[in-house]
A and B are shown apart, each in its own frame.
Chain A
Amino acid sequence: MNDVLVGRALAKRFGQTVALDGVDLAVRAGEAVAIMGPSGSGKSTLLHCLAGIMKPDSGEVHLLGQRIDNMRERGRSALRRTRFGFVFQFGQLLPELPAEENVALPLMLGDVPRAQAVRQARDWFGPLGLHGMETRRPGELSGGQAQRVAIARALVTKPAVVFADEPTGALDQTTGEETMRLLVEATKHNGACLIVVTHDPNVAGWCDRTVEVRDGHLLAGGVRA
């Protein structure tokens, strides 16, 4: 099979709260999956378990056939750095770094020499409509522009999977749609999978598939028939 990321029977509780209760989800190569559901239903928890940010209480997560949920924190951290990309709602850019260095940072963390890292980072600005924004600092960018810089940063390491938790949550409707389009297009163009948590059906509309989470269960669409 060509599933890139597979979660099996994932369960997670916080004290009395059951956040995930046996979730199965498989994501195919190049696929974009939207995770929807009411607030508190466990969307973020699911994303965190899949991305190796959190260890599930039970269940397994496999990336390209390799089990990742039982790795040590150091290994998972390296995995997140090299194989995954992340886009969060806001506040993920370092305020003192110019946009291009924010994008180049993950490359530099992977020992790419700085000049090359920055050159590679710059290549992302044009396609994402950020021309001329290379040396601006996050405080000098609009919310939508900052999110596009974050998208560039998530993709610059050529990850296998991009995780996005409400990436357009802090943006207005139009900017949100535009940002989402860029996120999906750029991810696909790179051959990466995309997993997006969102409240917005329009945003979900950009994806290939939508799964619904309710009280820690998937309603439908987790594993393709």
Chain B
Amino acid sequence: MNLDLTWRLLKGGGRKGLLGTWLTLGAVAVSMALLLFAVAANYAFEARADRSAWRNPVATTGVQEKGVQEKGVQEKGKAVAIEASRHDFVRDKDITVVDLGALGAEAPAPPPGLARFPAPGEVWLSPALKELAEQLPADQLAARFPGTKGVLGEEALLYPGELIAVVGRKPDAPELTAQRSDDWIIAKPPVKVASLAGEPTEDAEAYQVLALIAGVLMIVPLLVFGGAAARLTVARRDQRLATLRLVGATPGQVVGMTVAEAMIVALAGAVTGTLAYALAAPLLAGIQIGGGPWFVSDLWPSPLVLGGLLVAVPLLVGLSAVVGLRRVVVSPLGVAKRETPPAMRFVRVVVLLAVLAAVPLLSRGNAVGPIAVVIGLAFLCVNLVGPWVVGIIGRVTARRANRPARLLAGRRLVDDPRSAWRTVSGVAMTGFVAGFLCLLSPGVFNSTGVTGQLQIAVPADQTAAVAEQARTRLKEAGITATVKPVKKVVAVALGTSADAATVDRARTALAGLVPGHTPTTDADDEHFGVQILADVRAGTVVVLSVSFLVAIASAGITAASSILDRRQTYGLLRLAGTPLEVLDKARRAETLIPLTVMGGGAILVGAFCAAPFMIGAVNSTGVITLLLCVGLGFAGVIGAGALSRPLLNSVTADPAPRPD
């Protein structure tokens, strides 16, 4: 392999060859940046799961159930501490309160982020909670956490700005012995633990699975797009290479040179993409999921993974180049004739249906691996069917076209449905989910909520006593309220006009009234449901945005490369008086028609499927977000196509166009 010759080939490719090189570089850079994002998102959720594991205690085996110390229990199974947690609320934010008590005389190793195990009576707050406690009047928040001792380190936080309080208690304190309410979301019962390492919560694992699905949704179109971009360099060069082959270069040399060239360009693109991602990471860290934003460091995959991607991406591009080159190498007369492409077979649809039918069978277990494989397979199948559908859309467009631009667009779609599918695939695949979620409203939850009322779950035999205590405490705090025991609940009505400050004062006054139980409003009880819905929606918007970015990049590249491929014909058409606007309109329609039919169709079908679940009003923020996202996406796609207009002008400006 002759690197020197490769370098000269790269440099000497002429203006148009160079443009192809730049396009490849840009495409690989975009792919790399988005790929990093898709991969890093998974690591980010894993990092969160690990950091918050200490709050999800693992009970020591055999000890806790009956309190009988069995013989032969290993040292590591020995309980050293007791841990319980619950959620409290301030304004519309939730606070995680973790109660810890050491069991032995010796203080156990503290959880991450704490300098030492908290002694009874000591409170450690997260930085954000400390700040908030100082901001608000003490009777609204600070009074709930007397004895604040220190500040938690970042290692203890799920996300920057999370509100957490760690409270040290005696192991026999009521908070660490009393039964908790049966609402497992709001509170976790006391558990004896051998260490404070804990394990990732089920929630965290669910988020990881969702992130994986989102990752697959983003990566499949990215790979398709990246591979196509790689073939772009080759396409630019196959004439030159065919010439080389004719003057006697061996197939090995030709392949070697081209692949080396593609990989050099791809490596440059991958590095550029990494830099771009580094610049974007602080912005991406602001995306709110799971209640808050991210540490920027969460959004970086490990150096090993990063290095792996930097190696794998150029290799994949090289591989794509080899595939693209096969034609040139097999036949030295490389300039292929364009023929009617073989009709894509209906078999593809059958394969898709078969795989979809198999999904429920395969996904019985809830292990992450098989689920990812199945989802990946399903998407690959959608990818097989996609071009087929684009071909049909093209045929219909061409048949019904009455204007030249439409006709050209339709014929182009029939001619090369894969390139159009590349552009729209991500939007088509995400569209359904996006449409579905935009209509689902958090109103599903809070339609029946009562405002200005706090409730505390209380053991049934204590309701009257607790109600009496509540009255006294509220009176001392100067809060007017009606306190009523109802079955297993004590309800504190503050009046529907009570403002957030009054509710927080009442919460603070009632703090610790029933050990381990938090007074909550109806809105608090729905807090996590609303949050999950918001998270899924945020995730969808992210995936949809990435899909649109792929569509935009792909539309730009497809437009530019189709101009380069047809520069001679376009030039001659222009000489013959064809207005460039017609060619331009055709290129725009070529992307917009499948994007509208498939992307728009998927979104509408999704929205249609969500309609039965809609209760009350349409969720306007959801609809607006979606419309904004779709509007920007379409504008971007049109803009990307428009960017190549100067290219069209310049390649057709030469009055004597020749194949170069």
Binding site for B on A (CB under 8 A): 44, 48, 51, 53-54, 77-82, 84-86, 88, 91-97, 101, 105-106, 108-109, 113-114, 137-140, 154
A96 in contact with B338 given A77-B577, A108-B403 (CB within 8 Å): yes
Q: Are B402 and A86 in contact (CB under 8 A)?
A: no
Interface code B153-183, partner A: CB below 8 Å = 1, 0 otherwise? 0000000000000000000000000000000
Contacts of A154 in B (CB 8 A): 576
Most chain A CB within 10 A, of B339, B575, B576, B578, is at B576
Q: Are A92 and B569 in contact (CB under 8 A)?
A: yes
Interface presence of B566 (CB below 8 A)? yes
Chain A's nearest CB lies how many Å from the CB of B5?
Answer: 29
Q: Which 3 A-B residue pairs are closest in the complex by CB-CB distance?
A: A81-B577, A80-B577, A139-B338
The size bracket of the interface on B is: 20 to 34
Q: Are A92 and B338 in contact (CB under 8 A)?
A: no
Separation of A138 and B337 alpha carbons in the complex (Å): 9
Interface presence of B415 (CB below 8 A)? yes
A109 in contact with B582 given A48-B655, A95-B415 (CB within 8 Å): yes
Contacts of B416 in A (CB 8 A): 96
Interface presence of B342 (CB below 8 A)? no
Interface presence of B579 (CB below 8 A)? yes
Which single member of A44, A54, A106 contacts B576 (CB below 8 Å)?
Answer: A106
Q: Are A77 and B411 in contact (CB under 8 A)?
A: no
Q: Are B576 and A86 in contact (CB under 8 A)?
A: yes
Q: Are A79 and B577 in contact (CB under 8 A)?
A: yes
Interface presence of B378 (CB below 8 A)? no
Separation of A108 and B407 alpha carbons in the complex (Å): 10
Question: B407-423: which residues lie under 8 A (CB-CB) from chain A?
Answer: 407-408, 411-412, 414-416
Which single member of B337, B412, B577, B579 contacts A96 (CB below 8 Å)?
Answer: B412
Interface presence of B656 (CB below 8 A)? yes
A109 in contact with B572 given A81-B577, A138-B338 (CB within 8 Å): no
Q: Are A80 and B576 in contact (CB under 8 A)?
A: yes
Q: Are B655 and A53 in contact (CB under 8 A)?
A: yes
Interface presence of B619 (CB below 8 A)? no
Chain A's nearest CB lies how many Å from the CB of B456?
Answer: 72
Contacts of B566 in A (CB 8 A): 94-95
Contacts of B582 in A (CB 8 A): 109
Q: Are A114 and B402 in contact (CB under 8 A)?
A: yes
Separation of A39 and B583 alpha carbons in the complex (Å): 33
- List 13 A–B pairs whose Cβ atoms lie within 8 Å, in order of A's numbering: A77-B574, A78-B577, A79-B577, A80-B577, A88-B572, A88-B575, A92-B576, A96-B338, A106-B577, A109-B578, A114-B401, A137-B338, A137-B339
Chain B's nearest CB lies how many Å from the CB of A31?
Answer: 21
A81 in contact with B569 given A48-B655, A108-B404, A114-B401 (CB within 8 Å): no
Contacts of A137 in B (CB 8 A): 338-340
Chain A's nearest CB lies how many Å from the CB of B563?
Answer: 13
Separation of A97 and B412 alpha carbons in the complex (Å): 8
- B410 — nearest CB in chain A belongs to which residue? A96
Which single member of A51, A92, A101 contacts B572 (CB below 8 Å)?
Answer: A92
A105 in contact with B655 given A92-B573, A96-B338, A140-B339 (CB within 8 Å): no
- A91 — nearest CB in chain B belongs to which residue? B568
- A86 — nearest CB in chain B belongs to which residue? B576
Since A77-B577, A94-B566, A106-B576 are in contact, a sample of 17 more A-B pairs with Cβ atoms closer than 8 Å, ordered by chain A residue number, is: A51-B575, A54-B655, A77-B579, A78-B577, A81-B577, A86-B572, A91-B568, A92-B573, A94-B569, A96-B338, A96-B408, A96-B414, A105-B404, A109-B582, A113-B402, A139-B338, A140-B337
Q: Are B577 and A91 in contact (CB under 8 A)?
A: no
Contacts of A81 in B (CB 8 A): 576-579
Interface code B204-227, partner A: CB below 8 Å = 1, 0 otherwise? 000000000000000000000000
Q: Are A91 and B659 in contact (CB under 8 A)?
A: yes
